[in-house]
Amino acid sequence: MASLALSDEILMSVDKPARYIGNEVNMVRKHPENVAIRFVMCFPDVYEIGMSHLGIQILYDMFNQREDVYCERVYSPWMDLHHILKEKKIPLFTLETQSPVKDMDFLGITIQYEMCYTNILQILDLSQIPLFAEERTEADPIVIGGGPCTYNPEPLADFFDLFYIGEGETQYNALFDLYQSIQKQGGTRREFLRAACKLPGIYVPSLYEVTYQEDGTIAAFTPKYQDVPAKVRKEIQTDLTDAPYPRNPLVPFIKVTQDRVVLEIQRGCIRGCRFCQAGMIYRPTRERDVDMLKDCARQMLEHTGHEEISLSSLSSSDYSQLSELIQYLMDFKEKGVNISLPSLRIDAFSLDVMSKVQDVRKSSLTFAPEAGSQRLRNVINKGLTEEVILNGAGLAFEGGWQKVKLYFMLGLPSETEEDMREIPRLADKIARCYYEIPKDRRNGKCQITISTSFFVPKPFTPLQWTPMCTKEEYLARARVVNEEMKAQLNRKSLKYNWHEADVTVLEGVFARGDRRVGQVLLKAYEKGCMFDAWTEAFDNQKWMDAFEECGVSIDFYNLRTRSLDEVLPWDFIDCGVSKEFFIREWQRAQEEIITSNCRQQCNGCGAAQFQGGVCLEYQN
């Protein structure tokens, strides 16, 4: 297999050439001729984003533990190198050996965010791999998709050979063994895919047929053959303590988004927020043993030289052994290692923990009330009262903090103008907590930053049936918040930012779209759309033209309320949480009724079938 080193002339002509040269600390080196399978792992965004992704680090380490597999990496080239590769017809290459991606056996693409979809086509295009799965030959790699967006893979169905639904630790070894077995028998690509679909968690789109009703909704989603499973159940690693975890993570040469050791302390969340896909698809909540985490932390810091360690989870405060873990990590803090604790709830316990590990004068606290009014927080099952929020803010200010970031969503179901106006009012009440502290104990003014994103309903959430707003409606809601903010007593302490409405509209289409929106994606890429999550690269007009030319209606996907009996594009996936639970939670949302978290009581969501995590507490 040919090796492709970029010339010094090309490297010196692009921004951040270190994105493309590999050879980082802890990079795995193998002789390609000594392995049976070559797998290239791809994150469809720039190096700095992709290198910060924990999932790739875990699988990279896990795959390379096998002597018969060599896992390499590739990221999206920034636009400068993209144009050079196209112009000079140089195929995209791996970082480890500078080999053409098209020469690999597998190309695995992690799909984290809908606005990376055009970059997936960029990777295939630059690799000189046919964009459509049906056009690939025996000479092309098997293209696999994984990650949270595979919980509705249908917008990408035509471009992937298979999708891995769920957590990667469980079935990849079986998939590799199957591939080698079929290769030894002289089997074809098609025979491999027919066999692979029978493995748990594996979805092969070409083996299913979709038909539509006159109104555009799905009539049926059926396997083409009797031995193809009608349902694909997600894969889950129930025992995280003994699961693969990298002790020697890759260390980039250049500054990346998360330039630190990342310690995943648990998966899942007990809280049950009705808008949150991650909180549903990663059920049940599972913890890693604290002794394993201590050992990991020590080894990872030793093997990387990083000066910061971040504890990763959806809700760090809910990790039952957090105090013991923090106590252990304090020894590293005394040696100059910073400790980062995202996703903490703002309560006395969490503030006490944060005061031990952070310089409170320099850091800011993050609250995510999500909605300004208590009524709307009940709708989304946020589980935060205004009393808890204000009490937490008061404790934080007493402890020395003076900067607070507040995150909200606009466009939630049943939202009224009063709900919108409650956002800056709540921020003002928080500011008042600060100014109630005697002046001699304050350090100047407080700074409250309000950020609003626009609500996007996601598959496998209780709000998956609800309509979105139009771009104009979203922006009108942001103006209401901005207007109300100017009327607040402490407005000089308040700052307001809001998300791009154009991007939200597209995110909505691809989050709940079916196979028919894939043609829009291809048309947009042909028009030059890439890096749509980057403000400087996003071109909304090209997208609008693509929808119009393809005759695909944005309104059909975003603005209508779906009936509870409609066949949804993702209904063939069993995410481990029952549809009956989602319907029950959708009805409770409309009645503004709170559902208790998983540690207070079992709500019968269905995740107990996995025999793991917090669900075990409720089994007799």
Backbone angles phi, psi at 123, to 5 degrees: -60, -45
Q: What is the pLDDT of residues 380-429, one digit of tens each?
A: 999 899 999 999 999 999 988 999 999 999 999 999 999 999 999 999 99
65 pLDDT more than 70? yes
Closest CA to 332 of 361, 316, 308: 308
3 pLDDT more than 60? no
Last residue of a domain, one of 499, 531, 553: 499
How many structural domains comprise the chain?
2
Are residues 172 and 25 part of one domain?
yes
454 pLDDT more than 60? yes
Give yes or no for a contact between 39 and 72, defined as CB atoms under 8 angstroms apart.
yes
617 pLDDT more than 90? no
Q: Given this model, what pLDDT does residue 5 score? A: 59
pLDDT band for 362, please (50, 70, 90 cuts).
low
pLDDT band for 378, please (50, 70, 90 cuts).
very high
Q: What is the pLDDT of residues 507-549, one digit of tens each?
A: 999 999 999 999 999 999 999 999 999 999 999 999 999 999 9
Q: What is the pLDDT of residues 215-230, one digit of tens each?
A: 999 999 999 999 999 9
Are residues 222 and 368 part of one domain?
no
DSSP of 465-513:
TS----HHHHHHHHHHHHHHHHTSTTGGGEEEEE--HHHHHHHHHHHH-
341 pLDDT more than 90? no
User: How many percent of the chain have pLDDT more than 90?
Assistant: 89
Q: Given this model, what pLDDT does residue 2 score? A: 41
Q: What is the pLDDT of residues 599-615, one digit of tens each?
A: 999 999 999 999 889 99
What CATH number does residue 23 fall under? 3.40.50.2300
Domain containing 93 equals 8-233
pLDDT band for 360, please (50, 70, 90 cuts).
low
Last residue of a domain, one of 233, 263, 288: 233
Backbone angles phi, psi at 385, to 5 degrees: -95, 160
39 pLDDT more than 60? yes
CA distance 112 to 44: 9
Average model confidence (pLDDT) across the chain = 95
Give yes or no for a contact between 271 and 322, defined as CB atoms under 8 angstroms apart.
no
Last residue of a domain, one of 178, 206, 233: 233
Give yes or no for a contact between 159 and 121, defined as CB atoms under 8 angstroms apart.
yes
Q: Given this model, what pLDDT does residue 1 score? A: 38
Q: Given this model, what pLDDT does residue 358 score? A: 79
Closest CA to 173 of 336, 62, 320: 62
pLDDT band for 352, please (50, 70, 90 cuts).
confident
Q: Given this model, what pLDDT does residue 365 score? A: 86
What CATH number does residue 385 fall under? 3.30.750.200
Averaging pLDDT over each range in 1-5, 6-10, 427-431, which range is the top one? 427-431
Give yes or no for a contact between 27 and 94, defined as CB atoms under 8 angstroms apart.
no
- On whether residue 333 sits in a domain, the answer given is no
- On whether residue 238 sits in a domain, the answer given is no
| Of 442 and 361, the one with more pLDDT | 442
101 pLDDT more than 90? yes
- On whether residue 149 sits in a domain, the answer given is yes
- On whether residue 198 sits in a domain, the answer given is yes
Are residues 377 and 228 part of one domain?
no
pLDDT band for 4, please (50, 70, 90 cuts).
low
CA distance 254 to 98: 19
Q: Is 497 left (phi over 0), alpha (psi -120 to 50) or beta?
A: beta
Burial bucket for residue 78 (CB in 10 Å: 0-12, 13-18, 19+): buried
- On whether residue 520 sits in a domain, the answer given is no
CA distance 389 to 9: 56
- On whether residue 279 sits in a domain, the answer given is no
Question: What would the mean pLDDT of 81-99 be, rounded to a whole number?
Answer: 96
Bridge partner residues of 449 (DSSP): 405, 495
- On whether residue 555 sits in a domain, the answer given is no
316 pLDDT more than 70? yes
List all residues 6 or more positions away from 190 whose beta carbon is below 8 Å from its beta carbon.
Answer: none
Question: What would the mean pLDDT of 163-167 be, rounded to a whole number?
Answer: 98
- On whether residue 310 sits in a domain, the answer given is no
Q: Given this model, what pLDDT does residue 619 score? A: 59
212 pLDDT more than 50? yes
Question: What would the mean pLDDT of 447-470 be, rounded to a whole number?
Answer: 98
560 pLDDT more than 50? yes
CA distance 502 to 490: 31
Give yes or no for a contact between 453 and 504, defined as CB atoms under 8 angstroms apart.
yes
348 pLDDT more than 80? no
620 pLDDT more than 60? no
CA distance 108 to 1: 19
3-state secondary structure of 221: strand
| Of 258 and 196, the one with more pLDDT | 196
